[in-house]
Amino acid sequence: MTARPITLADVAREAGTSPSTASRALSGRGYVAPDVRKRLLATAERLGYIPNLSARTLKQRTSRVVGVVVSDLGNQFYAALAAGIETTLRAASYQMLLLGDNSDAGQELTGVRTFLSMRAPGVIMTPASNSAADLLVARGVPVVEVDRRLATSTCDAVVIDNERGARQAVEHLLGLGHERIGLLMAKTTWTTDAGRLQGYRAALAAAGLKVDRKLVVKVATHAADATGRIAALLDEQRPTAIFAANNVLAEQAWQVLRARRLSIPRDISLVAFDDVPWMGMVQPAITAVAQPTFEMGRRAALLLLRRLEDPTCGRTVEVLEPRLITRGSTGGRKR
Amino acid sequence: MTARPITLADVAREAGTSPSTASRALSGRGYVAPDVRKRLLATAERLGYIPNLSARTLKQRTSRVVGVVVSDLGNQFYAALAAGIETTLRAASYQMLLLGDNSDAGQELTGVRTFLSMRAPGVIMTPASNSAADLLVARGVPVVEVDRRLATSTCDAVVIDNERGARQAVEHLLGLGHERIGLLMAKTTWTTDAGRLQGYRAALAAAGLKVDRKLVVKVATHAADATGRIAALLDEQRPTAIFAANNVLAEQAWQVLRARRLSIPRDISLVAFDDVPWMGMVQPAITAVAQPTFEMGRRAALLLLRRLEDPTCGRTVEVLEPRLITRGSTGGRKR
DNA sequence: GTCCGGACTGCAATCGTTGCCACATCCGAG
DNA sequence: CTCGGATGTGGCAACGATTGCAGTCCGGAC
């Protein structure tokens, strides 16, 4: 039958020492005679001893498994973020526990509860609401917010300059002569969207143009009628260019344009916020605001590691710079 | 300062009962007077009690956190797989702990060790080597292999009919008149690659063609010279069509073809195994063998759940069917 | 009045590890 | 010779939850 797992006590008995000594030998703290340590290491190896993390966590009241929650595991943006985090944590011999919350505050809260009950030493998240992060902070668990900031309590964060990125994108369009620029953005309370909207407005204002609210379409995440809304924007407002504020909306917009056989950029230009691989592959390639995604993950992990080292260290919010990559999807305004 | 977390004992004291009763009330097994239960539930809620999973896991010697290891978190195929698994597990009130191993046996083993030490009740993995799965099985932890099978010990699995998918793809090319068909495949010992190679061979054999080994290129995962190898294949063997046995190789091949300004399918045809979104977006769209990815994840999770219910139940290997989606990247042979 | 079973509750042991403490030993300094 | 420190080891009590068992209390049946 299923053999009972090997415990530390088994190893100790086999090597003829007490469990305490075995513990010291294997975890490497406290006095152990070199030969005894060697013997214990060998027996542990021989028996295939695997420490029981629950017991250790219970006793030490903390674990080395960092919780990470992202909005959508299937989105390459978040996948890259997670990859950056994972690599960095691994290097510091922490483990990442990855969860997706589908942009749902409820799922986010459930996930965070799990982290709490597993005594994660810290959490990195792309927050969907403020409540989860606040809960963690209230319980004394350090949180790093990535991509956007929502917590009401203070915590470290890594974001990019959304306003600036959006401004660059829109200025680029304005420079090409566009004046009716549709904005497609997610309907959220996230700082990312707020910042991008802000940038859109700022660019228009700087060019002496008024914002036509009808050109701004806010689409709820996972909304079934997303393409319908986009189609309506095209029909009713006849924009000469579209700025899609995230990669999902960019893809949807692209699909709509293609379905209508509109030529990009002859009939309409398209710019996206957040560069993902397909944008460089389609014909014409999509002009996009690239984010240093992997790097954001790395920085977030570093911030958390720093705080684990020194819980009292000052709060840091890193703002990275986006970069506009001009490609074929943007061109002079159709006359 | 950081408040000590609320324990079950705190809740019990506050509600004027013993910890035992509190435990029964909150976990819902055993006798508890209705009003007492209600009172305990209320106090737990009020104090914001979160059970300590380590303690519970330690005592019960098992947890409800299922381990999942996939080869590459950034690959949409694996992301979809994970999504399918997660959704299904969640519905059964299990949690998923997701890890990526970058196709590295060492990282896989480390991850699996963690699962073992966290007492995961079961593990779902796209195996990178046989050792990790074997280790788990030896320790009595049920394993479900997805996408490919590698374990020497017997375990449940969900795969697709790789040979058949590959055969369809190649037959499609043969039907269009192609005879020199390059095969791009990963250099692994995985059953996926073996199956796809098999299908390639079978299709050629059925058409009375010999396999030219020079047309078969095996590229190591993450190999830096992948594009170089592909370029060499084009230069030296002049295939009229290429069958890329996974989505990464398909993308690399596509990039090479584009860089050389070869027209698809006029100059050369391209078929991919594993349909991912960009394949439907590029011009021309790529003919591909689609896998029911999300469904594979779902089935794997169901298989695991079944075995958790009944550890003695017979072993199941599900083989799903791939589906060839014909698109613009394949055309009549250039004459 | 006794007995019985059902409904409930609490005691105490346990899960596997760690870390504090006490103790043992040995060597060199005073 | 004694003392003190360095070195090394084992005992024991936690960590926080669960659970088998042994009660207690009640109402009703005999």
Instruction: Write down the pLDDT at residue A334.
Output: 54
- Mean pLDDT score, B184-207: 97
**Distances in Å between the alpha carbon of A270 and those of A163, A172, A196, A214, B153?**
18, 11, 15, 18, 53
Token output for A62: 């903390």
Average pLDDT estimate for B265-269: 96
- pLDDT at position A131: 95
**What local confidence, expressed as pLDDT, does residue A29 receive?**
86
Q: At what angle do helices B53-60 and A53-60 cross, to 10 degrees?
A: 140
* Cβ contact, residue pair A95, B83, below 8 Å: no
Position B334 scores a pLDDT of: 54
- By C-alpha distance, which of A13, A76, A3 is closest to A43? A13
Q: Which amino acid is at A225?
A: D
Indicate the SS3 state at residue A164.
Answer: helix
Q: Please give the angle made by the CA atoms of B260, B330 and B240, to the nearest 5 degrees.
A: 55
| Res B220 pLDDT > 70 | yes
Gyration radius (Cα) of chain A, Å: 26
Query: Which residues of chain A register pLDDT less than 70?
Result: 1-3, 333-335
Whole-model pTM: value is 0.92
The answer to whether the CB atoms of B140 and A3 lie below 8 A apart is yes
B311-335 mean pLDDT: 90
Helix (H, G, I), strand (E, B) or coil at B80: helix
Residue B6 has pLDDT above 70, yes or no: yes
Quick one: pLDDT at residue B1?
46
Q: Cβ contacts (< 8 Å) between B79 and chain A: which residues?
A: 73-74, 79
Is A73 close to B82, i.e. CB distance below 8 A?
yes
Higher-pLDDT residue of B333 and A313 is A313
Quickly list DSSP for A55-83: HHHHHHT--SEEEEEES-TTSHHHHHHHH
Chain B residues with CB-CB distance to A58 below 8 A:
52, 54-55, 58
- In the predicted model, is pLDDT for residue B117 greater than 80? yes
pLDDT per residue over B229-257, tens digit each?
999 999 999 999 999 999 999 999 999 99
pLDDT of amino acid B28? 86
Establish how many alpha carbons lie within 13 A of residue B273's alpha carbon, considering only the half-sphere containing its beta carbon: 30
Q: Tokens representing B173?
A: 């090319």
pLDDT of residue A1: 46
| Overall average pLDDT of the B39-65 stretch | 95
Q: What is the mean pLDDT of chain B?
A: 95
Task: State residue A319 phi and psi, 5-degree precision.
Answer: -115, 110
Query: Which of B75, B117, B251, B294 to probe by mutation at the A interface, max A CB count within 10 Å?
Result: B117
Residue with tokens 């990312």: A192
Question: Which residues lie near nucleic chain C, judged by CB under 7 A?
Answer: A 4-5, 7-9, 19-20, 23-24, 26-27, 29, 49, 51-52, 55-56, 58-60; B 17-21, 24, 30-34, 36, 55, 58-59, 61
Closest CA to A176 of A212, A203, A213: A203
